[in-house]
Amino acid sequence: MKKNILLKPLCCVLSAFILMLSSYSPVEAAEFPASWPQSPEIAEETGVLMEASTGQILFDKGMDEIRYPASTTKIMTTLLILENIEDLSQTVTFTDVITPDLEPGNSTINAQVGEQLTVEQCLYAIMLASANEVCTQMAVYVAGSVENFVSMMNQRASQLGCQNTHFVNANGLPDPNHYTTAHDLALILAAAIQNEDFCRISGSATYTIPATNMTSSPRNLENSNALINDSEYHYDGVIAGKTGHTEAAKNTLVTAAARDGMTLVCVVLRSDGENRFIDTVSLFNYGFENFHLSPVYWLNSEEPAGYVVLPKGVESNVLTVKDSDSGDTRTRTYSYQGVDLYSAQISLPVSFEQEADIPSSSFYQIRGWDYVLPGMGVILLILCISEIIILISFASRKKPKIKKKRSA
């Protein structure tokens, strides 16, 4: 009985050393806190506003409902090209694989079989002119066939956490099996804008492809995203984006903008007329005017371990932290006004050696403890060693008595 009494505080002491978090990820929220700023109404069927660095959702209108992406597909196409080709000055020679995409009504730069462009020129043609035939040719250039490239697209989407996306081509032309969601497109653009070349190309208002081996005149390209080009909807801070349009998808728009250290991704699907630009501006204004990134700290760290998006005037020290264990996994959940905003997990147990190697990605909400905890840690370690010595001493003194058997 005494042994159990001694073991109990020892277990409590040891548990203090495994409160470490190795990674964090946003929790998809079906609801927002009671004091969440009132969001604007949008005309589109579905839409989302997401903070890019955290993945936190600030606005949700059917963000996980499946829709056709149209040419916003080309964000994934461009991302894969950039991830698989380092030298953008490489020459691409167009082949007859582009012929079906040159039919009247398709979005093209009227590339010709045998014409040569650099990879960079092809990327501008894809993102600014939305050239379908260039997407097809680059898919073959990267993967050997459109089918192989599409497999890469679907695999990459899965890696990014897309749960309701399936591609069958590289350009977004209508197909019943080619679909996505506003949320998934936001995840794809959030990954793409981490690439500097993607932002440089996608964020350009205009670009000129000079004369080629098959043309005597240059091609002047203009970005169809009105938030990027010089239009009434131009939005300061936009860094990248892509428009789309088919009869099946209607108008689509995916855009990223950065202000005051926060990067927002906005997606609107199935829009009519200019609503996609009007509503994207409205959602960006909503995000930048009402929210900010608030740092969260872990234990004795002087530097922020990460950030959480909260209404302006609210800081992360108001968050409620709750730990729960299941099997060998500990989950820590961060909540605001009863609504979970983030969760984090680690595998248990964590050794002292492992703790030293784990980056500071855990969050602790009371900064005053940053200065107290180092000393407490030493005291706890001493107590732990003392408990072990006492247990060993107790066990060595209490030897079991062996009763001698009586002979019959």
DSSP 164: S
Residue 376 lies inside a defined structural domain of this protein = no
User: Mean per-residue pLDDT for 107-133?
Assistant: 98
pLDDT over threshold 60, residue 275: yes
Residue 402 pLDDT? 41
Choose between 1 and 280: higher pLDDT: 280
How many separate domains does the chain show? Answer: 2
pLDDT over threshold 90, residue 408: no
Least confident among 17-26, 40-49, 95-104, 215-224: 17-26
pLDDT over threshold 50, residue 47: yes
Q: Are 159 and 119 found together in one domain? A: yes
Q: Are 26 and 133 found together in one domain? A: no
CATH code of 264's domain: 3.40.710.10
Strands (DSSP E) along 124-249, which ranges?
206-209, 219-222, 238-246
pLDDT over threshold 80, residue 106: yes
Residue 244: phi and psi, rounded to 5, are -155, 155
Choose between 395 and 95: higher pLDDT: 95
The mean predicted confidence, pLDDT, of the chain is: 83
Q: Are 197 and 331 found together in one domain? A: no
Residue 400 lies inside a defined structural domain of this protein = no
Structure tokens at 33: 């806190």
Would you give the distance in Å from CA 120 to the centre of its chain?
Answer: 25
Residue 58 lies inside a defined structural domain of this protein = no
Structure tokens at 387: 């408990």
Round to the nearest angstrom and report the end-to-end CA distance of the chain.
36
pLDDT over threshold 70, residue 59: yes
pLDDT over threshold 70, residue 398: no
Per-residue confidence band for 384, with pLDDT thresholds at 50, 70 and 90: low
Which residue reads 């030298």 in tokens?
87
DSSP calls for 90-118: -EEE--GGGGGGGSTTS------TT-EEE
Q: Are 162 and 304 found together in one domain? A: no
pLDDT over threshold 60, residue 119: yes
In tens, the pLDDT along 278-307 reads 999 999 999 999 999 998 776 556 777 678
Q: Are 244 and 303 found together in one domain? A: no
In tens, the pLDDT along 187-220 reads 999 999 999 999 999 999 999 999 999 999 999 9
CA atoms within a 13 Å half-sphere pointing along the CA-CB vector of 393: 7
Choose between 352 and 13: higher pLDDT: 352
Max avg pLDDT among 13-17, 135-139, 360-364: 135-139
Q: Are 22 and 148 found together in one domain? A: no
Q: Are 116 and 226 found together in one domain? A: yes
Choose between 367 and 60: higher pLDDT: 60
Per-residue confidence band for 9, with pLDDT thresholds at 50, 70 and 90: very low
Q: Are 130 and 206 found together in one domain? A: yes
Residue 340 lies inside a defined structural domain of this protein = yes
pLDDT over threshold 70, residue 19: no
Residue 349 pLDDT? 81
pLDDT over threshold 60, residue 141: yes
Residue 378 lies inside a defined structural domain of this protein = no
CB 324 within 8 A of CB 334: no
pLDDT over threshold 90, residue 365: no
Least confident among 50-54, 175-179, 290-294, 334-338: 334-338
Least confident among 58-72, 107-121, 326-340: 326-340
Max avg pLDDT among 293-302, 310-319, 366-375: 310-319
Residue 249: phi and psi, rounded to 5, are -90, -15
Residue 117 lies inside a defined structural domain of this protein = yes
Residue 285 lies inside a defined structural domain of this protein = no
- What residues have CB less than 8 Å from 144, skipping those under 6 apart? none
Residue 407 pLDDT? 35
Q: How far apart are CA 170 and CA 189, in angstroms?
A: 16
Q: How far apart are CA 299 and CA 349, in angstroms?
A: 19
Alpha helices, H only, 16-84: 74-84
Q: Are 204 and 237 found together in one domain? A: yes
pLDDT over threshold 80, residue 94: yes
User: Mean per-residue pLDDT for 157-161?
Assistant: 98
Strands (DSSP E) along 149-249, which ranges?
206-209, 219-222, 238-246
Which domain-ending residue is among 243, 273, 303? Answer: 273
User: Mean per-residue pLDDT for 364-382?
Assistant: 41
Domain that holds residue 332: 2-32+293-369
Residue 21 pLDDT? 29
Q: Are 217 and 162 found together in one domain? A: yes
Which domain-ending residue is among 224, 244, 273? Answer: 273
Residue 340 pLDDT? 83
Residue 14 pLDDT? 36
Residue 46 lies inside a defined structural domain of this protein = no
Residue 132: phi and psi, rounded to 5, are -65, -40
Q: Are 103 and 143 found together in one domain? A: yes
Choose between 51 and 359: higher pLDDT: 51
Q: Are 324 and 355 found together in one domain? A: yes
Residue 241 pLDDT? 98
